[in-house]
Amino acid sequence: MEITDPTARFFYQLMTSKKPKEKDGDNALFIWGLKYLVGLSFFKISGKYYDFWRWSTQYYPFSLLYQDRLFHHNNQSVNKFMIRLQNLINKANIKTTILTGEYGGQFCEFYGTFNKKSDNTPDNIEQINKVLQEKLDTIYTRENKKGFRVLVPTQMLVSMEVLEN
């Protein structure tokens, strides 16, 4: 997974910087620990920010902000459906993360990645397809460059009240 947000990328690099060796001294170890804690704090604060906007966008005038974002109150049904897809896939003992989606004419596409690069195999994609079709019927899974994509018929999402007509 590639982090596209420059701020998040900066703090992620702080968290994943290489741990100094003992011969580098105590100061280097202290600075490394400080970098890790600063990066961790950024992501914890971002999580609280996300929850705040999810709550606040249900009220006017905040409802006019960020309407295209997943955390917007009007998009909660889609967010819950993405979490449901991810939980169904995780029951097959394949750890994944569904990152984003697109709305098309006949299908909605959800894009996901495998948490381990070694899991990105055609057999696992076939297993995901089998699990999702067993539970949700007409859902298709295809291989993607960096993971997989799940194709869900738009009409199915409308009937499940995930999307509005």
Structure tokens at 77: 């049904």
For residue 124, how many other CB atoms are within 10 A of its CB?
20
Q: How far is CA 147 from CA 80, 109, 110, 144, in A?
A: 21, 13, 11, 5
Structural domains of the chain sorted by starting position, each given as residue range(s) with its CATH number in brackets: 6-56 (no CATH), 73-159 (3.30.980.40)
β-strand partners of 140: 151
Structure tokens at 102: 């697109």
Which strands make up the sheet holding 140-144, listed edge to edge? Answer: 96-103, 107-114, 147-153, 140-144
Q: Of the candidates 55, 142, 144, 143, which has an alpha carbon nearest to the alpha carbon of residue 152?
A: 142
Cα angle value 105/4/118 (rounded, 5°): 85
Q: Which is more confidently placed, 63 or 140? A: 140
Residue 86 is predicted with a pLDDT of 84
Q: Which is more confidently placed, 160 or 139? A: 139
Q: What is the pLDDT of residues 44-75, one digit of tens each?
A: 887 777 777 777 777 777 777 666 666 666 66
Can you tell me the distance from the alpha carbon of 128 to that of 39, in angstroms, rounded to the nearest whole number? Answer: 33
Q: What is the pLDDT of residues 26-41, one digit of tens each?
A: 888 899 999 999 988 8
Q: What is the 3-state secondary structure (H, E, C) of 14-55?
A: HHCCCCCCHHHCHHHHHHHHHHHHHHHHHHHHHHHHHHHHHH
